[in-house]
């Protein structure tokens, strides 16, 4: 996964596109290790950057033809596959959603070998995981486990004021508070 992280970060910085690594890779970085099959990356990709984005990835990658432009226009998602490694990257195009914009603005650099890769902050990955948990009507139990793992592992460095305020603004407190209690943090 490190090779993929470094490669994708280098491509995004060449375009340049603001980004933040999220999903299980980010929650494992801030919390408890967890296996994942792909890389989730939030990007602030604009329509006028699509061709540069596609060119920066080059021939070693599969990128969708029509799906890429549509994802940018609709602030949705698309994926890219490294053909030699068969690694998949799920790109989520940031729209006007406050949680996405905050995740990009608050991204934290993580040193991986000689590279720095932008990751969701611990607080922002907790909020994103809670958002996915809500969207799944609680079915994705792994999301809750990831949240509690991040809260426990990162407890000393968490900005609880930011976390609880953002959760309240996004109507996520009912999901956050039980996780805080399970992690030994008072809501």
Q: pTM for this structure? A: 0.92
- Strand partners for 79: 90
Distance CA 144, CA 141 (A): 5
Distance CA 150, CA 28 (A): 8
Tens-level pLDDT at each residue, the chain (187 residues): 889 999 999 999 999 999 999 998 999 999 988 777 789 999 999 999 999 999 999 889 999 877 888 999 999 999 999 999 999 999 999 998 899 999 999 999 999 999 999 999 999 999 999 998 898 876 677 888 999 999 999 999 999 999 999 999 999 999 999 999 999 997 6
**Nearest alpha-carbon partner for 2 in 147, 108, 110, 80:** 110
Q: Which domains does the chain have, with CATH numbers?
A: 2-119 (3.30.460.40), 122-182 (no CATH)
Whether the Cβ atoms of residue 93 and residue 45 lie closer than 8 Å to each other:
yes
Distance CA 75, CA 72 (A): 5
Q: Please, which residues have CB within 8 angstroms of residue 57's CB and are 6 or more apart in sequence?
A: 11, 63, 80
- Report CA-CA distances (Å) from 162 to 79, 123, 174: 31, 8, 16
Whether the Cβ atoms of residue 114 and residue 134 lie closer than 8 Å to each other:
no
DSSP character at residue 95 = -
Whether the Cβ atoms of residue 3 and residue 115 lie closer than 8 Å to each other:
no
Distance CA 177, CA 130 (A): 11
Transcribe 4-35 into DSSP letters. HHHHHHHHHHHTT--EEE-HHHHHHHHSS---
């Amino acid at each position: 996964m490190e090779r993929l992280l470094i490669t994708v970060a280098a491509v995004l910085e060449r375009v340049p596109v603001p980004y933040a690594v999220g999903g299980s890779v980010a929650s494992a970085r801030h919390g408890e290790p967890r296996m994942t099959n792909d890389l989730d990356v939030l990007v602030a990709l604009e329509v006028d950057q699509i061709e540069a984005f596609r060119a920066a990835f080059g021939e070693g990658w599969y990128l969708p033809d029509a799906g890429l432009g549509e994802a940018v226009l609709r602030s949705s998602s698309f994926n890219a596959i490294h053909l030699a490694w068969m690694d998949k990257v799920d790109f989520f195009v940031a729209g006007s959603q406050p949680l996405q914009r905050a995740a990009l603005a608050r991204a934290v650099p993580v040193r991986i070998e000689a590279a720095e890769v932008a990751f969701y902050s611990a607080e922002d990955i907790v909020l994103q995981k809670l958002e996915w948990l809500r969207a799944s009507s609680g079915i994705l139990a792994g999301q809750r486990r990831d949240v509690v793992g991040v809260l426990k592992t990162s407890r000393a460095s968490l900005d609880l004021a930011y976390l609880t305020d953002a959760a309240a603004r996004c109507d996520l407190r009912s999901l956050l508070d039980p996780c805080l209690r399970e992690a030994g943090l008072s809501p």
